[in-house]
Amino acid sequence: MTDTALRKSHWPWLVAFAGFIALIGAAGFRSAPGVLIDPLRAEFGWSTTTIASAVSLNLLLYGVFSPFAAALMDRFGMRRVVCCALTLVACGSGLTVFMTAPWQLMLCWGLLIGVGTGSMAMAFVATLTGRWFVRHRGVVSGVLTAAGATGQLVFLPLIALLSTHHGWRVASLLVAGAALIVLPLVWLLLRDHPSDVGTVALGGVAMPPVRTGGAARRAIEVLVSAARTRTFWLLAAGFAVCGATTNGLVGTHFVPAAHDHGMPTSMAAGLLAVIGLFDIVGTIASGWFTDRVDARWLLGVYYFLRGASLLALPPLLAPTTMPPMWAFIVFYGLDWVATVPPTVALARQHFGDDGPIVFGWVFASHQVGAAIAASGAGLIRDHTGSYSLAWYLAGGLCALAAVCSLCIRRPSPPAHELNLVDDEAQLS
C-alpha cells in the first residue's frame, strides 16, 4: 500500500476521532443543570419551577431538533453544522454569567444550548457512521455514543466541585471553554463525505455524496413516511422508555433519591459518574455485538436487564455504598446507553439513507420520555415522600420496551447494501 493510500485509509478514523472530540466538548452542559439549580436559586431567588422550565426546554429541543440537524447535515455538511453547534453551546454557556432575568436563562440554557446540543445528538452519530463506515459501523457507533453519554456524567463531579468552591460562573465558563477548545480540531479533521478527501467508507465502495435541499421539509417528509410503518413506532416506544429510565429518572433523580436515604450529595454524584465510566465499556461492547448479533434481540435483552436492575434499586439505597449498591452501579452502567448502537442499526436497516433522520425522530421520543419521567418522578416524590414507586414503574416500562423490540420484524437489506455485496463479489 502506498503512503497516499495509507493516509486515505486513515481518514475514517480521523473523522470518527473528530466526532468523538466534538461530543465530549458538548457534553459538559448536559451535566450542568442539576448541579447549578441550587446556586442559581440562592443568588437570584428564582423558584425551582422557573429554573426547571429552562431545563425542560433544553431537553425538548435537544431531542426535537435532532432530526432537523440530520437533514441540515445532508444539505450543508457535518463540519459546518457541528462547528456552528459548538459555537452555540459556547455562547449559551458563556453568556449565562451576565444574566439577571429568567428570560435570559430560557434563552441561554433553553434555546441556544438546546439547539446546539441537539445538533450533536445521536443523529450526528448515525450520520457519521453511515457515511464513513461499513465495516466496524457498530463498534464506532458504540464509541461515539459513549463519548456523548459518558462525557456529561464524567463532567458532573468537576462542575460540582467548581460551583461549590469557585461559584457557578466558573463552572459555566468551563463548559464554554471546552466547546471552544475543540472547535478548531473539529474544523480541521471532520469531513462530510469520503469522496471529499478522495477515499471511500471503511469496508465500502465509492458512492457519490447526496446533497438535498429543503432540510426542514425533508425532515418532515421522512417523519411522515416513517410514521406509516410499524417499525418506527416500536423503535420510538422502546427509545422513549430508554430516555425515561436513563436521563429522565436516574440522571435527574438518583442524587436526590440517594440523599433521601442519608447518602451525602457528593457521594451520590460520584456514583453517577462511575455509572458513566462503566457505560464506556458497555456501549463499545454493544457496538461490537451489533456488528454480529440480531439488533432486535440485543435491545430485548438490554431493556429486560435494565428493568431488573431498577426493580432491585430501592432496597439498596442507604447512607453508605454497600457492595450490593456497587453491583447495581456496575451492572446499570454497562447498560446505560447500550441500546443506541442496535437502535441506530435498525433505523438504517429498515429506512436506508433516511435512517439517520428517522433515528433523529426516534431520539426525539427518547427526550420526550426523559422529560415526562423527570416530571413524573418529582410528582411521585412529592405525593408519596419516596421515589420507590418511580423505580418500580420504570422497571415495568423496561419490560414493555423489551417486548416492543422483539416485535420488530427482521429488516430487509437496503438496495445500496445489496449492490455493495454484488460489487464485492465481482471484485473477488
Domain boundaries, given as residue ranges, for the chain: 7-193+215-421
Mean pLDDT (whole number) for 300-320: 92
What does the alpha-carbon distance between residue 356 and residue 377 come to, in Å, rounded to a whole number? 31
Min mean pLDDT across 152-156, 238-242, 250-254, 259-263 is at 152-156
Q: What pLDDT, in 10s, does the model give residues 363-375?
A: 889 888 987 887 7
- Asked whether residue 194 carries a pLDDT value surpassing 90, the answer given is no
Q: Are 306 and 398 in contact (CB under 8 A)?
A: yes
| Residue 393 to residue 274: CA distance in whole angstroms | 24
pLDDT at 305 over 90: yes
Cα-to-chain-centroid distance, residue 179 = 17
Residue 266 has pLDDT above 80, yes or no: no
pLDDT in tens, 368-395: 898 788 778 888 887 888 889 999 999 9
Model pLDDT, residue 205: 61
Q: Which residues pair with 133 in a beta bridge?
A: 202
What fold is seen in the domain 7-193+215-421?
A: Growth Hormone; Chain: A; (1.20.1250)
Compare 415 and 149 and report the one with higher pLDDT.
149
Q: Average of pLDDT values for 10-21?
A: 87
Region 328-336 average pLDDT: 87
Query: Under a CB-based contact definition with an 8 Å cutoff, are residues 408 and 346 in contact?
Result: yes
Segment 417-427 mean pLDDT = 46
What's the whole-number average pLDDT of the chain? 81
Q: How high is the pLDDT of residue 344? A: 87
pTM, entire model: 0.73
Give residue 149's pLDDT: 63
pLDDT recorded at residue 399? 96
pLDDT given for residue 423 in this prediction: 45
Least confident segment among 3-7, 103-107, 124-128, 317-321: 3-7
Give the position of cell 450543508. Answer: 76
The pLDDT confidence band at residue 2, using thresholds 50, 70 and 90, is very low
* Helix, strand, or coil (residue 209): coil
pLDDT, residue 214, reads: 59
CA-derived radius of gyration, the chain: 21
Residue whose entry in the numeric block shows the C-alpha cell 471532520: 190
Which three-class secondary structure state does DSSP give residue 280? helix
Residue 425's pLDDT band, with cuts at 50, 70 and 90, is very low
Decide if 69 contacts 15 (C-beta within 8 A).
no
> pLDDT at residue 326 above 80?
yes
Tell which wins on pLDDT, 171 or 242.
Answer: 242
